[in-house]
């Protein structure tokens, strides 16, 4: 199981366009990808509704995890999207 | 107008109906007729209210088939949103693509599937599955709270697909022309509306100058606005609309429909008999021009015998896009219009934008509690002179080599200083005929000062009425005041026309008033020198003018101006215009 902990930097938080890009990227993976607020319950990173409902604001930390071939690369990309201002 | 049988009580022929039938929906609704003609077709409702599927509704046990139905409905809605997004572009595309992602959400689909496996019918399963996320977003408030409306919209679309209800939004395809019934229509709603699909418009709100009314007249489609009870009409009900009297008949008999359509044909025949340049019966020339939004309106203008363009609304080039049109793009659009009228007049109105018509590439003018009184028209130009310079430059290049008589005018001018500033800018750009719209009462009252610094006037009666009577065009509650027949408005028009004529200059009218054949005669009688209107109104106005002498028009104008109320003004003018009767007006 690969895991990353990153801080969300976009001004709008993980909402609107950053959230859409994040979910679109996760949805391409053939394996499960999850996202949680630090210490919170993980939800599917492929679900825009679940991601929005987490209500991640600018400066908050998220934990993303996945297991499968190419999981490391995918998490790197997702971490980059989340940490893009 | 005959109001005897348009009251709220049932007409005599309806009294025999069962009490139940009467309770449901009356057979006759009445509103304000704003675009003449008869239209007949099934009602298509654009109301956006999809009822909640009943709690506890179950499917018949075939869970896989029901799941498949739900998945296909979600997919259909997502694909439709994506397609609309691609067509709209810009910020609208982002919103629609995000909505499509919600419709394709795998967790949502899983919740729906789970509910269906428990026996819940697909529409109810959709409602409940969306409800879970709806509650989460609503509880978060702020940005997420605002997404609740997006979510509800998707949910309603999916439920509509599943239950065979009309999908919220204007239908763009249909087997036969329909009567479009709505609360009211916004310009964005109707941007993609094909002309041959709508037999008539009926809206519950809005007045004679609402967007629906203007759109209907420009399309030549009958319309009734301010029609109470319209959105309660059952979808699919056959509806017969009389756009002159404002009567909307539900499920009419075959005879009623045949009579109405026959009368319509007869009126059109009288109209087509009138041809050639606009003139009164005694030969006083009144050029009849068309209002257009761009080259795509030219065909209708030429077909209706327009002698030129009296109002070219250039803002349509600028709306619904992220960046300003390039100088080349502008030049091309302007040249296409100039070339359509090689020997006619083309009056171009510079960009008319403001808080009510915001442009994405201009910073918003800031919070305006009343956009009608805010930074719009020439006021916006003064803040963004680069946009004006680019537009005037493109116009000047398009004029080069054109044989049309091109005139440029600015909207929303209130003072002589603004008029002088604009005229100077036109001359600097190399455009030699610069005029202004008369829409603000101050400009009409001091018309003698303003005409000194410009080459012509064009009266925009919609805004002039709105400002003279302090009655917002968008507020249906004050629609009664929004009447260009009001003697106060007639006085302002007279003042402007007299000032122009004393200076040896022209004063046209390009508002909706020019499209009213009776008022058109009155305007000519007050000294208005040309009339510009939506193309379908041209034959009516041409016929009305040809049926009367200039002297009759003057007498009618004097009679209207000596009245106290708009209603009396119409009646007084009509009494002096005997030729209207044969036109069925």
Q: What is the mean pLDDT of chain B?
A: 86
Residues B237 and B295 in one domain: no
Q: The domain containing residue B235 runs over which residues? A: 23-48+170-257
Residues B116 and B196 in one domain: no
CATH classification of the domain holding B34: 3.50.30.10
Chain A residues lying within 8 Å of B144, measured CB to CB: 15, 52-53, 55
Chain B residues lying within 8 Å of A52, measured CB to CB: 137, 144, 147
Of the partner residues A20, A27, A53, the one whose CB lies closest to the CB of residue B97? A20
Residues B84 and B149 in one domain: yes
Size of interface A-B (CB pairs under 8 A): 46
pLDDT at B256 over 60: yes
CATH classification of the domain holding B72: 1.10.274.10
pLDDT at B17 over 50: no
Q: What percent of chain B has pLDDT over 90?
A: 53
pLDDT at B148: 75
pLDDT at B47: 64
The answer to whether B177 and B198 are in contact (CB under 8 A) is yes
Catalytic residue (one of A4, A15, A37, A46): A15
pLDDT at B239 over 80: yes
pLDDT at B288 over 90: yes
pLDDT at A11: 81
Of the partner residues A12, A20, A43, the one whose CB lies closest to the CB of residue B98? A20
pLDDT at B244 over 60: yes
Residue B74 within a domain: yes
Residues B303 and B361 in one domain: yes
pLDDT in tens, B546-580: 999 999 999 999 999 999 999 999 999 999 999 88
Residue B4 within a domain: no
B521 as an active site residue: the answer is: no
Residues B461 and B569 in one domain: yes
Main-chain dihedrals φ then ψ at residue B357, nearest 5 degrees: -130, 70
Residues B355 and B381 in one domain: yes
Residues B369 and B512 in one domain: yes
pLDDT at B6: 36
Residues B477 and B354 in one domain: yes
pLDDT at B93 over 90: no
- Structure-derived torsion over alpha carbons of residues B187, B188, B192, B197, reported in degrees to the nearest 10: -50
pLDDT at B164: 82
Residue B13 within a domain: no
Question: In this predicted complex, what is the ipTM?
Answer: 0.94
Residue B269 within a domain: no
pLDDT at B319 over 80: no
Q: How many CA atoms lie within 13 A of B174 on its CB side?
A: 23
Cα–Cα distance measured from residue B443 to residue B495, given in angstroms and rounded to the nearest whole number: 10
pLDDT at B439 over 90: yes
Residues in CB range of B217: below 8 A, 6 or more apart: B34, B35, B223, B512, B515, B533, B534, B536, B537
Q: Is B273 exposed, middle or buried (0-12, 13-18, 19+ CB in 10 A)?
A: exposed
pLDDT at B169: 67
B510 as an active site residue: the answer is: yes
Per-residue pLDDT, averaged over B23-46, amounts to 83
Residues in CB range of A26: below 8 A, 6 or more apart: A33, A35, A45, A46, A74, A78
Whether residue B140 and residue A55 make contact (CB cut-off 8 A), yes or no, is yes
Q: Which of B163, B184, B203 is the C-terminal boundary of a domain?
A: B163
Q: The domain at A2-83 falls in which architecture?
A: 2-Layer Sandwich (3.30)
CATH classification of the domain holding B399: 3.20.20.60
Q: Which of B147, B163, B179 is the C-terminal boundary of a domain?
A: B163
Domain definitions of chain A by residue range = 2-83
Residues B156 and B209 in one domain: no
Whether residue A47 and residue B105 make contact (CB cut-off 8 A), yes or no, is yes
pLDDT 10s per residue in chain A (85 long)?
899 999 998 888 888 788 999 999 999 999 999 999 988 899 999 999 999 989 898 889 999 999 999 999 999 999 999 988 7
pLDDT in tens, B205-233: 777 766 677 778 777 789 999 899 998 88
Chain A residues lying within 8 Å of B137, measured CB to CB: 52-53
Q: Which residues pair with B33 in a beta bridge?
A: B224
pLDDT at B255 over 80: yes
Cα–Cα distance measured from residue B106 to residue A47, given in angstroms and rounded to the nearest whole number: 6
pLDDT at B90: 61
pLDDT at B27 over 80: yes
Residue B84 within a domain: yes
pLDDT at B190: 55
Cα–Cα distance measured from residue B383 to residue B379, given in angstroms and rounded to the nearest whole number: 7
> How many residues does this entry show for chain B?
585
pLDDT in tens, B513-558: 999 999 999 999 999 999 999 888 898 899 999 999 999 999 999 9
- Minimal C-alpha gap between A50 and chain B (Å): 8
Cα–Cα distance measured from residue B334 to residue B532, given in angstroms and rounded to the nearest whole number: 18
pLDDT at B498: 97
Selected residue with higher pLDDT from B26 and B444: B444
Q: How many domains does chain B have?
A: 3
pLDDT at B212: 72
Confidence class for position B15, pLDDT limits 50, 70, 90: very low
Residues B159 and B100 in one domain: yes
pLDDT at B121 over 90: yes
Q: Which of B141, B163, B185 is the C-terminal boundary of a domain?
A: B163
Per-residue pLDDT, averaged over B70-95, amounts to 80
Residues B365 and B236 in one domain: no
Residues B332 and B426 in one domain: yes
């Amino acid at each position: 199981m690969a895991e990353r902990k990153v801080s969300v930097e976009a001004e709008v938080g993980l909402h609107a366009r950053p959230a859409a890009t994040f979910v679109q990227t996760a949805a391409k993976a053939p394996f499960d990808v999850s996202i949680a607020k630090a210490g919170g319950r993980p939800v599917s990173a492929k679900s825009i509704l679940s991601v929005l409902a987490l209500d991640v604001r600018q400066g908050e930390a998220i934990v993303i995890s996945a297991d499968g071939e190419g999981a490391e690369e995918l998490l790197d990309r997702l971490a980059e999207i989340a940490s893009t201002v | 107008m005959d109001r005897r049988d348009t009251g709220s009580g049932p007409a005599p022929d309806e009294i025999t109906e069962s009490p139940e039938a009467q309770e449901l929906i009356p057979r006759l609704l009445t509103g304000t007729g704003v675009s003449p003609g008869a239209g007949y077709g099934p009602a298509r409702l654009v109301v956006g209210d999809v009822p909640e599927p009943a709690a506890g509704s179950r499917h018949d046990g075939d869970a896989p088939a029901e799941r498949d139905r739900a998945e296909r409905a979600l997919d259909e809605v997502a694909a439709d949103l994506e397609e609309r997004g691609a067509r709209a572009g810009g910020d609208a595309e982002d919103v629609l693509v995000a909505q499509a992602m919600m419709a394709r959400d795998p967790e949502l689909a899983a919740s729906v599937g789970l509910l269906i496996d428990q026996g819940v019918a697909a529409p109810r399963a959709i409602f409940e599955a969306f409800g879970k996320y709806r509650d989460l977003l609503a509880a978060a408030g702020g940005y997420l709270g605002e997404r609740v409306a997006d979510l509800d919209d998707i949910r309603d679309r999916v439920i509509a697909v599943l239950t065979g209800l009309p999908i919220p939004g204007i239908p763009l395809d249909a087997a036969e022309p329909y009567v479009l019934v709505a609360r009211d229509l916004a310009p964005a709603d109707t941007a993609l509306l094909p002309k041959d699909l709508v037999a008539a418009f009926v809206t519950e709100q809005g007045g004679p100058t609402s967007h629906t009314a203007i759109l209907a007249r420009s399309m030549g489609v009958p319309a009734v606005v301010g029609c109470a009870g319209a959105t309660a009409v059952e979808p699919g009900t056959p509806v017969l609309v009389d756009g002159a009297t404002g009567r909307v008949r539900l499920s009419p008999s075959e005879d009623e429909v045949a009579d109405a359509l026959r009368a319509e044909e007869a009126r059109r025949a009288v109209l087509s008999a009138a041809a050639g340049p606009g003139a009164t019966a005694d030969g006083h020339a009144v050029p009849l021009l068309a209002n257009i939004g761009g080259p795509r309106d030219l065909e209708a203008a030429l077909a209706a015998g327009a002698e030129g363009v009296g109002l070219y609304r250039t803002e349509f080039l600028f709306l619904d896009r992220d960046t300003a049109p390039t100088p080349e793009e502008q030049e091309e659009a302007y040249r296409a219009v100039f070339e359509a009228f090689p020997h006619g007049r083309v009056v171009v109105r510079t960009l008319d934008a403001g808080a009510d018509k915001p442009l994405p590439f201009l910073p918003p003018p800031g919070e305006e509690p009343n956009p009608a009184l805010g930074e719009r028209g020439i006021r916006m130009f003064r803040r963004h002179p680069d946009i004006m310079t680019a537009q005037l430059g493109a116009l000047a290049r398009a004029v080069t080599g054109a044989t049309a008589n091109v005139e440029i005018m600015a909207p929303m001018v209130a003072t002589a200083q603004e008029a002088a500033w604009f005229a100077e800018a036109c001359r600097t750009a190399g455009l030699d005929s610069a005029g202004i719209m008369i829409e603000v009462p101050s400009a009409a009252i001091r018309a003698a000062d303003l005409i000194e610094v410009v080459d012509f006037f064009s009266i925009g009666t919609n805004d002039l009425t709105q400002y003279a009577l302090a009655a917002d065009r968008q507020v249906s509650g004050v629609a009664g005041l929004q009447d260009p027949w009001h003697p106060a408005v007639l006085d302002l028009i007279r003042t402007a026309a007299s000032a122009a004529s004393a200076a040896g200059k022209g004063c046209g009218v390009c508002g909706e008033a020019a499209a009213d054949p009776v008022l058109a005669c009155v305007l000519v009688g007050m000294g208005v020198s040309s009339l510009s209107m939506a193309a379908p109104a041209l034959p009516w106005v041409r016929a009305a003018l040809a049926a009367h002498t200039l002297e009759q028009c003057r007498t009618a104008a004097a009679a209207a101006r000596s009245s106290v109320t708009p209603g009396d003004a119409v009646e007084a003018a009509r009494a002096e215009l005997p030729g209207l009767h044969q036109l069925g007006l």
